[in-house]
Amino acid sequence: MLGSLRADMSRQGVQTPQKGCCNACEKPIVGQVITALGRTWHPEHFTCAHCNQELGTRNFFERDGRPYCEPDYHNLFSPRCAYCNGPILDKCVTALEKTWHTEHFFCAQCGQQFGEEGFHERDGKPYCRADYFDMFAPKCGGCNKPIMENYISALNTQWHPDCFVCKDCQNPVKGKSFYAMEGKPVCPTCVGVDDDE
């Protein structure tokens, strides 16, 4: 058919030079041509390798020498966000052996994005410092708040140094001697015993 069209046009004085062979159908190209990936195509044959939609002059991506439309390329080959499972098209965070959209990498408890403090991990989930310690750190026997740094271990629990005080007089328990009442330290003075005894 194309041969007879060229012959008819040639008889009428219209020259139709061949512009190569189409990479898809292997037939000569006369008229519009698309040159991409180092090959030539009829416009209707330059299609996405996945959905077969014409690419024409639209943006496309190449993978293993085959053209893909932008949506298919990202759905098939872009890394996936660990939170929403959507393709990551721009910046991403790589943490906990996963990839995340930057806006989807946040504390699993409060939902706040991480700042300069970074994050803490527990069971594969990221947490901000405050929530991590609130949820997983041992609690002080005096104030019941999380222990984040130095502590005293006594009476089968941990204490902030400032919270390890006499149950009665609220003074810090000094030295090695103290008594226990209802699971709390009591200084020798409040018990009525001389410190030196």
CA dihedral over 119, 122, 126, 130, signed as positive or negative: negative
Task: Specify the residue for token string 């006369």.
Answer: 30
Q: Check whether 195 has a pLDDT greater than 60.
A: no
d(CA 182, CA 145) in angstroms, rounded, equals 19
What integer pLDDT is reported at residue 140 of this predicted model?
92
Q: By three-state DSSP, how is residue 6 classified?
A: helix
Q: Which pLDDT band, with edges at 50, 70 and 90, does 153 fall under? A: confident
Q: What's the Rg (C-alpha) of the chain?
A: 37
Alpha helix stretches (DSSP H) within the chain: 2-11, 70-77, 129-136, 188-191
pTM exceeding 0.85: no
DSSP 182-194: TTEEE-HHHHT--
Q: Which pLDDT band, with edges at 50, 70 and 90, does 101 fall under? A: very high
- Residue 119 half-sphere exposure toward CB, CA atoms < 13 A: 20
Q: Check whether 61 has a pLDDT greater than 80.
A: yes
Q: Check whether 178 has a pLDDT greater than 90.
A: no
Averaged pLDDT, 78-87: 93
Percentage of the residues of the chain whose pLDDT score is greater than 70:
88
What integer pLDDT is reported at residue 17 of this predicted model?
57
Task: Specify the residue for token string 């015993």.
Answer: 193
What integer pLDDT is reported at residue 77 of this predicted model?
93
Centre a 10 Å sphere on the Cβ of residue 132 and count the other Cβ atoms it contains. 21
Q: Are strands 120-122 and 98-101 parallel, antiparallel or unpaired?
A: unpaired
What integer pLDDT is reported at residue 10 of this predicted model?
58
Q: By three-state DSSP, how is residue 31 classified?
A: coil
DSSP 62-98: EETTEEEEHHHHHHHHS-B-TTT-PBP-S-EEEETTE
